[in-house]
C-alpha cells in the first residue's frame, strides 16, 4: 500500500524531451521558437507565414473589400492595431488597388496625435472665411472641444457609462472621418480576446440584440461605411508573439481603465474575468469567441433600415415592436405606469403632452459648429432655434442599452450638438407623420 511518508518525486521526473519534439510542426526541420498552443509550435519563418496567411484568409473568406475601394485603418497604437497596420503595409499579397491611401494620409506626421490635430485644423480652416482665418480665435476651438468633452464625461456617474459613451463617440469620429475622406470601408483592430470580452460586456449592458453587429467580421449599421475586423481570428497571445519577434512597435495610451480597481466598471471586471480564466483554462477565449460567430440578429439589416428606426447613439436597429413577454416590454409598461401615476398625482400633463413645455431652448447655428451667432434669430437665415430635448424625448430614440447609459447622466444638455440636433429632427418627423397618418397608404 502507498504510505503517506513515501515520495515519488524522483520517479515522476521526466527526462528532457528530445530535440524532435521541439521542432516546428510545419517544416519539421527548424527548432520551434513559438508555442501558441500545446501542439502548435512554429519556427520563426513558419510562424510569419502562418500569421500572414490567416490575415489574407480572413479577408478572402468574407469577400467584403473589393478592388478599387479605399479602406481607412483605425490605428490606436496598441498591439492589435499596430500588427494590423504591419500586415497591410508589408505582406498583404493583394492587388495594389484594393487598399489605397488617401492624399491627406500621405502627409508626414511624427505621431498619431499630430495627424489627428492636423486633420482637425484643416477641417476647421476649410469652413472659415479669409477674415476669420487671420483671426487667432479659431486656434482655441480644440481647447473648447476638450472642455466640452470633459464636461460630458463628468456628467456620468459610473465608469461603465463613461466607457460606453466614449466608445460610441470614438466610432462616430471614425465614421465621420471615413465619409469626409471618401473611404467606403473601415478596418478595426479588434482581436479574438477583445471580442470575447465585448460579447460578455454587451450582454451585461443589455445589448443582446446587437451582439452580432458588435462582434461579427463586418458591421453595416452605418450604411455607406462598413466596418471590418480582420484581426478577429488572432488571440492577444499570438499578436504579442508576432510583435515581439518581428519588432512591431506599439504605444500605450492611458485611458479611463488605467490603474483602477478591478470592479470599477463592468468592462474592466469582464476583461479581468476572461484573462484570469484564460490562464487556467486556455480554451476560454476561443469558446466564447466561437459562440459569437453563431449569433445572428433577426432584425432587418441596418443598411436597409430607416434612419429613424435606429438608435441615436450606437446606430443599431431599434426594437420597435417587442414581444409581450420580453423584458423590454415589461420595462416600457412599468415606466409608462409610473410616469402616468406621477403625472396624475401632481396634476400635470402626460409625458407625451408635456414634451414641448419641458424642453430647453438654445439658439445655435445649425450650419456652424454650435456657437451662438451675433445676429438675432429673425435676421439670420442660416440659424435655427435648437430645443434641447429632455430625457423622455431622447429615451424613445435609443436602444435599451443606450437608455441605461443616458439614465446615468446628470443632464443631457452636455450631449454633443449633432446628437441633440438629430433628436430634434426625428421628433419633428415623428410628429409630422402622426399628423398625416390618415392620408398614408399601408406598406
pLDDT tens digits for 114-146? Answer: 554 555 455 444 444 555 445 544 445 578 888
Q: Where are the domains of the chain?
A: 20-61, 64-126+139-309, 356-396+411-439
- Residue 86 CA to residue 1 CA, distance in Å, equals 61
Query: The C-alpha cell of 321 is what?
Result: 415592436
CA distance 399 to 402: 5
Q: Are 351 and 358 in contact (CB under 8 A)?
A: no
Q: Whole-angstrom Cα distance, residue 270 to residue 28?
A: 39
3-state secondary structure the chain: CCCCCCCCHHHHCCCCCCHHHHECCCCCCCECCEECCCCCEECHHHHHHHHHHHHHHHHHHHCCCCCCCCEEECCCCCHHHHHHHHHHHHHCCCCCCCCCCCHHHHCCCCCHHHHHHHHHHHHHHCCCCHHHHHCHHHHHHHHHHHHHHHHHHHCECCHHHHHHHHHHHHHHHHHHHHHHHCCCEEECCCCHHHHHHHHHHHHHCCCHHHHHHHHCCEECCCCCCEEECCCCCCCHHHHHHHHHHCCCCCCCCCCCCCCCCCCCCHHHHHHHHHHHHHHHCCCHHHHHHHHHHCCCCCCCCHHHCCHHHECCCCCCECCCCCCCCCHHHHHHHHHHHHHHHHHHHCCCCCCCCCHHHHCEEEEEECCCCCCCCCCCCCCCCCEEEEEECCHHHHHCCCCHHHHHHHHCECCHHHCCHHHHHHHHHHHHHHHHHHHCHHHCCCC
**36, 238, 239, 333 from 244: Cα distances, Å:** 14, 10, 8, 55
- Indicate the angle between helix axes 79-86 and 236-245, nearest 10 degrees: 60
Q: Which residues pair with 409 in a beta bridge?
A: 156
Q: How far apart are CA 245 and CA 48, in angstroms?
A: 9
Q: Which pLDDT does position 40 carry in this prediction?
A: 82
Check: CB of residue 161 under 8 Å from CB of residue 409.
Answer: yes
* CB-based contact 164:404 (threshold 8 Å): no
Exposed/middle/buried for residue 43 (C-beta within 10 Å: 0-12, 13-18, 19+)? buried
86-97 b/e with 16+ CB inside 10 Å = b? bbbeeebeeeee
Contact 28, 34 (CB under 8 A): no
Task: Mark 6-18 as b/e (b = at least 16 C-beta within 10 Å).
Answer: eeeeeeeeeeeee
Q: Give CA–CA dist 359/397, Å, rounded.
A: 16
Here the cell at position 230 is: 480582420
Q: Which residues are CB-contacts of 427 (< 8 A; sequence separation ≥ 6)?
A: 355, 389, 393, 397
Determine the pLDDT at residue 138: 46
Other Cβ atoms closer than 10 A to 378 = 6
Question: Which pLDDT score is estimated for 390?
Answer: 56
Provide CB contacts within 8 A for 111, sequence distance 6+: none
Q: Which CATH superfamily is domain 64-126+139-309 in?
A: HUPs (3.40.50.620)
pLDDT of residue 252: 84
Chain Cα centroid distance, residue 368 = 26
Inter-residue contact 182 to 223 (CB < 8 Å): no
* pLDDT digits 0-9 by tens, 330-374: 777 787 787 666 554 544 433 333 433 344 444 445 444 444 454
- The stretches in the chain having pLDDT less than 50 are 1, 8-13, 19, 92-113, 116, 120, 123-128, 132-133, 136-139, 299-305, 344, 346-364, 366-372, 374-386
- pTM, rounded to two decimals: 0.72
Cell of 383: 440659424
Amino acid at each position: 500500500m502507498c504510505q503517506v511518508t513515501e515520495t515519488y518525486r524522483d520517479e515522476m521526473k521526466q527526462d528532457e524531451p528530445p530535440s524532435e519534439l521541439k521542432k516546428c510542426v510545419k517544416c519539421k526541420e527548424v527548432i520551434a521558437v513559438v508555442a501558441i498552443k500545446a501542439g502548435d509550435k512554429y519556427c520563426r519563418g513558419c510562424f510569419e507565414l502562418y500569421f500572414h496567411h490567416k490575415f489574407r484568409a480572413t479577408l478572402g473568406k468574407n469577400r467584403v473589400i473589393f478592388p478599387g475601394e479605399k479602406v481607412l485603418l483605425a490605428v490606436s497604437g496598441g498591439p492589435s492595431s499596430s500588427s494590423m497596420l504591419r500586415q497591410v503595409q508589408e505582406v498583404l499579397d493583394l492587388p495594389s488597388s484594393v487598399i489605397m491611401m488617401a492624399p491627406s494620409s500621405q502627409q508626414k506626421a511624427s505621431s498619431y496625435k499630430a495627424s489627428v490635430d492636423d486633420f482637425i485644423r484643416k477641417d476647421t480652416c476649410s469652413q472659415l472665411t479669409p477674415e476669420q482665418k487671420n483671426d487667432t480665435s479659431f486656434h482655441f476651438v480644440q481647447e473648447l472641444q476638450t472642455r466640452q468633452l470633459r464636461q460630458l464625461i463628468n456628467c456620468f456617474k459610473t465608469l461603465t457609462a463613461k466607457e460606453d459613451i466614449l466608445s460610441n463617440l470614438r466610432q462616430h469620429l471614425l465614421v465621420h472621418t471615413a465619409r469626409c475622406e471618401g473611404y467606403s470601408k473601415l478596418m478595426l483592430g479588434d482581436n479574438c480576446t477583445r471580442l470575447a470580452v465585448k460579447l460578455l460586456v454587451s450582454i451585461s449592458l443589455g445589448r443582446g440584440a446587437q451582439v452580432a453587429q458588435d462582434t461579427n467580421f463586418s458591421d453595416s449599421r452605418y450604411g455607406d461605411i462598413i466596418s471590418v475586423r480582420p484581426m478577429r481570428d488572432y488571440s492577444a497571445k499570438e499578436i504579442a508573439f508576432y510583435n515581439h519577434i518581428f519588432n512591431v512597435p506599439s504605444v500605450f495610451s492611458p485611458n479611463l481603465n488605467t490603474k483602477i480597481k478591478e470592479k470599477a466598471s463592468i468592462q474592466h471586471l469582464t476583461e479581468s474575468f476572461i484573462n484570469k480564466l484564460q490562464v487556467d483554462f486556455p480554451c476560454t477565449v476561443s469558446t466564447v469567441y466561437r459562440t459569437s460567430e453563431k449569433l445572428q440578429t433577426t432584425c432587418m439589416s441596418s443598411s436597409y433600415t430607416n434612419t429613424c428606426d435606429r438608435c441615436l447613439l450606437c446606430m443599431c436597429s431599434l426594437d420597435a415592436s417587442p414581444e409581450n413577454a420580453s423584458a423590454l416590454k415589461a420595462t416600457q409598461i412599468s415606466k409608462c405606469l409610473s410616469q402616468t401615476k406621477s403625472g396624475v398625482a401632481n396634476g400635470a400633463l402626460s409625458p407625451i403632452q408635456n414634451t414641448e413645455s419641458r424642453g430647453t431652448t438654445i439658439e445655435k447655428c445649425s450650419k456652424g459648429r454650435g456657437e451662438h451667432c451675433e445676429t438675432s434669430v429673425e435676421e439670420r437665415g442660416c440659424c435655427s432655434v435648437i430645443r434641447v430635448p429632455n430625457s423622455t424625448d431622447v429615451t424613445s430614440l435609443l436602444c435599451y442599452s443606450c437608455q441605461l447609459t443616458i439614465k446615468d447622466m446628470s443632464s443631457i444638455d452636455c450631449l454633443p450638438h449633432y446628437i441633440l440636433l438629430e433628436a430634434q429632427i426625428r421628433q419633428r418627423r415623428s410628429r409630422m407623420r402622426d399628423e398625416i397618418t390618415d392620408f398614408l397608404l399601408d406598406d
